[in-house]
Structure 1
Amino acid sequence: MSDSRVGLSVTHRRYVPYSHAHYAGDLVDGAYALGLFGDVATEVCIRTDGDEGLFASYSDVQFRAPIRAGDVLEVVATVTRVGTRSRTLDFEARVVCRGRPDRGGSAAEVLAEPVVVVTATGTVVVPPVA
């Protein structure tokens, strides 16, 4: 029997502030995306189980492209497996807008094609059903 929670997706968008740049070229560390994965996973748990749940582990994390201050990130979590108390989620973070300092201090653009910056697979756990 198929579980109706499999395939559920939740999407968040977040502007990456310049205060998070730690490296030359306004680069932001990859852990920033992992924090966003935790946020979107929390909403998944609330929607599927009525509880915030807890992040248990990552089985895979791939840093594919840089995140820069001034980016707008779209972060998606999709339920791929439902166990008794665990849920496996696939994550993807992609840049949908990017600052264009070459055009001016506050210039930015919507990207024609989003840039996938981080992908991951993780497991969350929720309390047992009472």
Structure 2
Amino acid sequence: MSRTVHRRYVAFSDAHYAGNLVDGAYALKLFGDVGTNLSIETDGHEGLFAGYSSVEFLAPVRGGDVVEAEARLVKKGNRSRTVDFELRVICRAVGETGRSQLVEPAIVAVRARGTAVIPAAETEG
């Protein structure tokens, strides 16, 4: 099935909590972006996101990280699309030095599963 990946630098200004932590909503926003991209590539339409059936916060995301958000189509109904999401930390800042290091293997920070719907008018024809 189809897969789309976005990479993004997490600005230090996105950190709101002690330990330079970024809130979980940051990952969900990225999932929205990569999910929309997947819908456009798969169906030629942005789609409408119906909701998440599961979300797991597994590891911290911090300001200065570079993350990779992936959306993977796992099931395609007539109009519904089941999508698995994963956010991985692929680089991490080293203190406040401006230096960063590659994280190998990548740290899986967030996993989710959701459902998008393609409007009926877009599936006809």
TM-score by length of 1: 0.91
State the identity %. 53
CA-atom RMSD, angstroms?
A: 0.8
Structure 1, unpaired ranges of 5+: 1-6
Structure 2, unpaired ranges of 5+: none
Runs of 4+ displaced beyond 4 Å: none
Q: Which residue of 2 aligns with 1:69?
A: 63
Query: By how many angstroms is 1:111 displaced?
Result: 1.0
Equivalenced residue count is: 122
Query: By how many angstroms is 1:63 displaced?
Result: 0.1
Tell me the distance in 2 between the aligned counterparts of 1:36 and 1:71: 14
Tell me the distance in 2 between the aligned counterparts of 1:30 and 1:24: 14
Partner amino acid, structure 2, of 1:41: G
TM-score by length of 2: 0.95
Query: By how many angstroms is 1:126 displaced?
Result: 0.8
Tell me the distance in 2 between the aligned counterparts of 1:83 and 1:116: 28
Aligned: 1:126 with 2:118: yes
Q: Please give the secondary structure, in 1, of the residue aligned with 2:45.
A: coil
Tell me the distance in 2 between the aligned counterparts of 1:92 and 1:112: 16
Query: By how many angstroms is 1:93 displaced?
Result: 0.3
